[in-house]
Amino acid sequence: MNNINCMGGCSAKLDNKRLQKILKLSNSSLKNNEDCSIYDLGNGTSLVESIDYFPQISDSYYIYGQITACNSISDIYAMGATPKFALSVLTVTNEMSDEEIAEIIKGMISILNPLDIRIEGGHTIITNDLICGLSVTGFVNNKDLKQNNTPNIGDVIVLSKPLGFGTIIAAKTVDMVDTKDYKEALKWMTTPNKEASLIAVKYNFSALTDVTGFGLAGHLLEMMGSSYCAQIAIENLPIVGNALQYLDQYFLNGAIANNRRNYKDEISFSFKPSFGQKEIFFDPQTSGGLLGTVDSETWANMDEESKKCFWQIGVVGNKREKAIEVND
């Protein structure tokens, strides 16, 4: 079994500012940063499309396939849509056996089949590195379509999974992670965001996205844009296992420095945070939770079972000097 890649999962994501520069140099016509492409079918529904792939993130090929599947369908759920079918993207090495490659595919299928998502085909090549992913197609009623940058003042900010997957994996790469913490992270990373998405649609969330490679800070900034401020309560942030302690011990993954460099100037703290409390905002998540905003009255009146799918982590305020304010 190959070692877990410290740039595995969404830690491998290209630096956001570098990506923006490349798109500008290429004269790209992209106009927004939505989680999926959207094609209006003209009948009240839209087709949504997304692709995700990344290097190995688990010491089990089967679980690697599961995490890949969960992460790939998450963008569809973040749009309020229903994923329907997928194409696999797989690069394998000469050293891998047929049985090992099959384990990855079986892992993906174990997540997709119960959700009635079919793998219709794909493309597999031999290279020097193992990379796995899916191109996923879904459909959404236009009135249910969610965007990632449309919050309202006074909205509650909620998150459906804890933070810290990146640092847990970083500690695992050097065999310094507690087994309980690693298993907890894997449990969350292999949990699809379907239920949270359905609740977001049911209660008409004003904005929705998923937290992945750019970390909580990057996705909050994308959501707040130039008009709003995310006022976050540090004690309300859900953290997986001992992730803060791993960060305090400098178990940092490959992308956290890029996120810190890109987003640190947009965050302020009303208290003196620990190193881990600061870094958790930059920690890249793989198969992270849905980050949403919802009217405060709607949140107050939601049924308790629905509320259990989310943590309330803050509120949307008017734009201030910093786009993210963290309070104790």
Q: What is the pLDDT of residues 40-52, one digit of tens each?
A: 999 999 999 999 9
* Whole-number Å distance between alpha carbons of 234 and 84: 37
Angle between helices 194-202 and 61-78 (to 10 degrees): 10
Q: Please provide residue 66's backbone torsions phi and psi, each rounded to the nearest 5 degrees.
A: -65, -45
User: Rounded to two decimals, what is the model's pTM?
Assistant: 0.92
- End-to-end CA distance of the chain, in Å? 43
> Cβ contacts of residue 25 below 8 Å, gap of 6+?
none
62-75 core/surface letters (b: 16 or more CB in 10 A; e: else): bbbbbbbbbbbbbb
State the amino acid at position 192 in one-letter form: P
Per-residue confidence (pLDDT) for residue 32, from 0 to 100: 67
Question: Which residue positions in the chain have pLDDT lower than 70?
Answer: 1-16, 29-32
Please name which of 239, 47, 258 lies closest in space to residue 142, comparing C-alpha atoms.
47
Q: Which residues pair with 121 in a beta bridge?
A: 87
State the amino acid at position 311 in one-letter form: W
Per-residue confidence (pLDDT) for residue 36, from 0 to 100: 84
Per-residue confidence (pLDDT) for residue 35, from 0 to 100: 73
Per-residue confidence (pLDDT) for residue 18, from 0 to 100: 77
> Cβ contacts of residue 127 below 8 Å, gap of 6+?
91, 92, 93
Burial class (CB in 10 A: 0-12, 13-18, 19+), 263: buried
Question: Which residues are designated catalytic?
Answer: 10
Ordered DSSP codes for 12-48: GSPPHHHHHHHHHHTT-------SSEEEE-SSSEEEE
* Whole-number Å distance between alpha carbons of 281 and 283: 6
* Whole-number Å distance between alpha carbons of 327 and 306: 26
| Domains of the chain: residue spans and CATH | 9-144 (3.30.1330.10), 156-327 (3.90.650.10)
Please name which of 319, 32, 317, 71 lies closest in space to residue 213, comparing C-alpha atoms.
71
